Structure 1
Amino acid sequence: MTSSINYIVSLYISLWASFSHQHLAKLPNTPVIERKYPFVRYDYNQIFTPKYGKALNNFHHVWDEYLQGKRKRMSILHIGDSHLQADMFSNQVRKHFKYQPHMGVAGRGFVFPHKMAKSNDPHTYKTSYSGKWSGSWATNFAKTDSWGVGGMAATTRDQNARFTVNPNRGNNNYQITRVKVFYNTKDRASFQVKLVTPYEIISPQRIVADGYVEFLLKRPVGQVTIAMDKNRPEQRSFTLEGVSLENDKPGVVYHSAGANSATVKSFLRSPRVANHVKSLQPDLVIISLGTNDAYTHRFNSKQFKRDYSILLSRIKRAAPKASILLTTPGDCLYRGRFNYSNNKASRMIFELADEMDCAVWDTYTVMGGLGVIRKWRRYKLSSYDYVHLSGPGYRLQGDLLYQALIQNYRMHALKMVDMN
C-alpha cells in the first residue's frame, strides 16, 4: 500500500515537473530596451498592483491557460484619447505580442474609419468610402449619438454607400475570417449591412441585440467592404460605431480605440461603451485617459476621480472577469508652462486603483516626471506641441508598456512554479 502511494506521489511530481518545464519554456521573453535616454526612469518601469498584487490575477490565469493549450484566444482592449487614435503607441504593443513565440495573431481587432467622420485615420490601416457620410464625436458636448469605445460615429442616408477597411499596411499580414460591425441593430429605421469580399457577398450570420452583426467568411481575406442593404421602406439611415476584424486562429487580439480630445466625461456620455466592452470580451482592459482632463488651468481632481470611478464601474459590470490596467497621463506642457495637473491626475488614478482593484502603469514617472517633456522634445521623442509624442516616442512608450506587462506576467508564472 505504501509503495503504491509513493508511486502515485512520484508520478504526480514527475508530471508537474514536466508541465512546469513546458510552461516555462513557453514564457514570453522580456524585451531588452536600450537605455540611451538618461531622463527615462527605466528602473521604475513596472506594473503596480495594489490589493496584495491580485489586480491582474484573472488576466494571468487566462495567459496561463493559453500557454497550456486550454484556451485559443487572449483578448486585450486598450481605450483612450488621441494617443490611441494615432495607434502608434498601441500598435507597438500589438506588434510585440504578434512576434512573440507561442503567442499567435487572432486578428487586427477593433477599428474605426475615422476619415468618414472627417478625422484622421491611423497609419496602421487604410480606409476608403463612397457615398455621403457625416461624423460626430463624443467630445462635442452639444450633440448626442450612439458612440462606443471609439468615441466617434459616422452616419449615412445613402443606401448605396459603402466603406472598405484594409488592416494590411506595411508589413502587416492580418487574415480576416470573422467580422463584427457595431451599430444599433434594434433600430428598425436603420439600413442593414452586407459584407463584400473578392469571393462573395454575404449577409450576417448573427445579429446580436447588444448592437452588432457578425459575418463568418469561408475564405480568409486581407480587407473587407461593408455595403448598405436596404430591404424595408422604413429604413432611412445607418450609423457606424466600429468594426472588429478577427480570425479563428489561436492567438492574441489587441483591440485599440481612441478619439482625439477624449476625456473620462466623454466616455461617460458614450452610451454604447458598455455594449462594446461586453461584445469584445476582453481579458484585459487598458485605459489611457487623463491627459485632456488635466489639460486645463482649473483641474478638479476630485471630480475627475468621481467620474473615473463611474466609468470603471460600468466597464467592470460589462466585463466582470476582465482585469483592468490604468495608465497615468504622461508629462506635457500647458500653454508653454509646466502642467502640474498631470501629477494630480496620476495620484487620483493610484487612489482609484487601490479602491477598485485595478493595476497601474505609471507613464508619468517612467517618462521622467514634471517638465521632462522638454527633454523628450530635445531628443525628438515629442511632438512640437509638447503634448503628443513623435513616432519614435510612441514606439518607446509601447516598448516600455510591453516590457512591464511581460515582466509582471513572468513574475507570476515563476511564482506559481515555485509554489508547486
Structure 2
Amino acid sequence: MKYQRHIGFLVTMMFVVHAFGVQAQRYTHSYPHYDFIDYEKNQLQYFGTTDHMRGFYKKLDRLIYQGEGQINILHVGGSHIQAGIWSGTVRESLHSLHPGIVAGRGLVFPYRAAKTNTPYDYTVDYGGGWEGCRNVEKNKDCNLGVIGISVTTKRNDAWLKIELKESPTPIDYSFTEAILYHSTDAQSFCFDFPNDPEAVIQTFADQGYSKITFTRALDTLHLQVKQTDSIQHYFTCFGIKLENSKSGIYYNAVGVNGADVPAYLRSPNFARDLQVSPPDLVIFSVGINDALYPGFSPQAYKENYRELIRRIKTVAPNVAILFTTNNDSYFKRRYVNPNGEKVKQAMSELSAEYNAAVWDMYTIMGGRGSIDTWIDARLAKTDKLHFSSEGYRMIGYLLASAIVQDYEKHILANAKR
C-alpha cells in the first residue's frame, strides 16, 4: 500500500523574545509512504552525550534567529554521495527550513573531465586533455584533498566549465565568490575566467587554493588555463567551492565511486583543504565499500575512522559528527551481506567514543534482506547495492527529517527553560 505522507519540518522560531512568546512555522515535503520503512525509527540516536550536536544547533539558532554566521556541513561518502541525489535532497530540504539561510552551493568538481559521473544539479564541460586521479586508485600518488579526486592537464589551452542547473525549488545557488583548490607551484599554469575577466584572484600558494571574487552573480564557472612563463607545464584542479559572502548554510558533499575509509586516508591534503572552511557538522556515509566482502574487520574499520576523525579535528576540534549506517546489500548479488549489522554496531561504538549521532538507515529501511523489498518497489537497483534515483531521494528526505526533528527537540527544550 502506498499513499502520500508528509515530513513535518516543525521549526519553532523565537523571533520575539518574551517569557512565553514563541512563533512556529511548519515546512513540509510530500513523499510516498511505504509500509516496509520503519518511520518510527527515523530519528538520530546517541550512544554518548549530545554536546557536540547541541553546539551545532546553537550555531543554527544564531543563523535562524539573528541571521548571522555561516554554517559548513560536510557529507562524506562513496558512490551514494557522488551521484548527488541523496546529499542534494538533504541540502535542498535544509535550505528550505527558513528564508535567507542559503549561503551557496558549496563544493563542486568537474567530474566529467575525470571521465566519471557528475551530480544531477550541475553540468560539466571541458576542453583540452585532462587526466583524472581518484583516491580509490591505490597505485597512484596524486596529492589529493578533501574531495578525493583531481584532474590534471598539460595543455596551456585547456578549460573547464561548471554550470549550475536551475533548481526545481525557489532556491538560488548563484555565486559571487569561489575557492579553487589547485596546484600552486611555479611549474603550474595560471588561469582566468572568460565570463568575468575582471574577477579578482588571490592565491594562497602554501595552502593550495585561490580565492576568486567575481564582479557579479554567476551560475557558470568558466576557468581558462593560460601559460605566463616558460617553466609552466601543467595545471591540476582538486575542487571548487562556490560561495557568497552572505550568511547561511553550505552543504558540501564529497563522494568518490568505490571509496572506503582508507581511500580518504590516502588524501594527504584532506584536512588542509578544510582549513579554509572548517566543518561544523560532518556526516559520515562511508562504509558500504569497507563492508562489501566476507573478511570485513569491524576493528580495522573503527581504527580507520578514528584516524580520519583525528585529521578533521586538527582543524575543527569541536565538530559535530553524524554517522549513517550502511544500507542492506548483497555479496555479488547472490548472498545477503551480514556486515550491515556489524557496521551498525561499529558506528554505535564510535558514537559513544566521539559523542556523535547515528542515523540508522539499515534498520529504517527494514534490516537484513530489505534491499529486495526496495528493489520490488523500484527504490533500489538490481545490483542489490545502490538505490534508484527515487530511492536516493527517499533516504534524503528521511535523513533531513531526522535531523530537523532532532533540532526541533533542541528548540523546544530551550523554550521551556
Q: TM-score, normalised to structure 2's length?
A: 0.91
Q: Could you say which residue in structure 1 is the equivalent of 2:414?
A: 416
Q: How many residues in Structure 1 have an aligned counterpart in Structure 2?
A: 401
The answer to whether residue 377 in structure 2 is matched with residue 405 in structure 1 is: no
Which residue pairs with 2:122 in the alignment?
125
**Could you tell me how far apart the structure 2 residues matched to 1:361 and 1:289 are?**
13
1:157-172 equivalences under 5 Å are 157-171=154-168
1:348 counterpart residue number: 346
In the alignment, the residues of structure 2 paired with residue 56 and residue 214 of structure 1 have an alpha-carbon distance, to the nearest angstrom, of 30
Match of 1:364 in 2: 362
**SS of residue paired to 1:270:** coil
Q: Deviations over 1:105-161 (max 9, x none)?
A: 211110111111111112211010010000111101111112222221110011111
Offset at residue 387 of structure 1 (A)? 0.6
Decide whether the 8 Å contact of 1:49 with 1:55 is kept in 2: no
Give 2:89's match in structure 1, choosing from 79, 87, 92.
92
Aligned to 2:107: 110
Q: Secondary structure of the equivalent of 1:345?
A: helix
Q: Which residue of 2 aligns with 1:261?
A: 258
- Percent identity (aligned): 32
Q: Deviations over 1:365-388 (max 9, x none)?
A: 111111100000000000121111
Q: Which residues of 2 match residues 216-235 of structure 1 at below 5 A?
A: 216-235=213-232
The structure that has the greater radius of gyration is 1
Higher strand share: 2
Following the alignment from structure 1 to structure 2, what is the Cα–Cα distance between the partners of residues 265 and 210? 23
Give per-residue Cα distances to partners, 1:26-56, cap 9 Å, x unaligned: x663646657211111101111123332230
| Secondary structure of residue in 2 paired with 1:48 | strand
Cα RMSD, aligned residues only: 2.1
CA distance in 1, matches of 2:47, 2:190: 46
Correspondence for 1:373: 371
AA of the residue aligned to 1:391: S
Partner residue of 1:309 out of 306, 310, 330 = 306
C-alpha contact (below 8 Å) 1:194/1:201 kept by paired residues: no
1:11-410 to structure 2, matched below 5 A, reads: 18-19=16-17, 24-25=22-23, 29=26, 31=28, 36-69=33-66, 71-171=68-168, 173-185=172-184, 187-197=185-195, 199-207=196-204, 209-335=206-332, 336-410=334-408
Q: 1:190 to 1:113 in 2, by over 3 A?
A: same
1:67 aligned partner, one-letter code: I
Letter of the 1:244 partner, please give it. Answer: K
Q: What SS class does the counterpart of residue 36 from structure 1 fall into?
A: strand
Instruction: Show CA shifts across 1:177-226 (max 9, x none).
Output: 011110233x22212322232x4343513425322101111211111111
Q: 1:402 to 1:210 in 2, by over 3 A?
A: same
Q: Distance in 2 between matches of 1:169 and 1:403?
A: 24
1:239-261: per-residue Cα shift (whole Å, max 9, x none)? 11101111123322211110000
Structure 2 letter corresponding to 1:141: K
Q: Is the 8 A contact 2:47 2:349 kept in 1?
A: no
> Which ranges of 4 or more aligned residues in structure 1 deviate by more than 6 Å?
none
Whole-Å separation in 2 of the counterparts to 1:34 and 1:132: 43
One-letter identity of the residue aligned with 1:174: Y
Conserved in 2, the CA contact under 8 Å of 1:326 and 1:361? Answer: yes
Report if the CA contact (8 A) 2:31-2:394 is conserved.
no
Contact 1:114/1:120 (CA < 8 Å) preserved in 2? Answer: yes
Whole-angstrom distance in 2 between the partners of 1:166 and 1:314: 32
Q: Secondary structure at the match of 2:17?
A: helix
Amino acid corresponding to residue 177 of structure 2 in structure 1: R
Q: Is the 8 A contact 2:47 2:356 kept in 1?
A: yes
Q: Distance in 1 between matches of 2:16 and 2:382?
A: 54
CA distance in 1, matches of 2:32, 2:164: 32
1:169, CA displacement in angstroms?
4.2
Stretches of structure 2 lacking an aligned partner (at least 5 in a row): 1-13
Residues 24 and 276 of structure 1, relative CA distance in 2, 3 Å threshold: farther
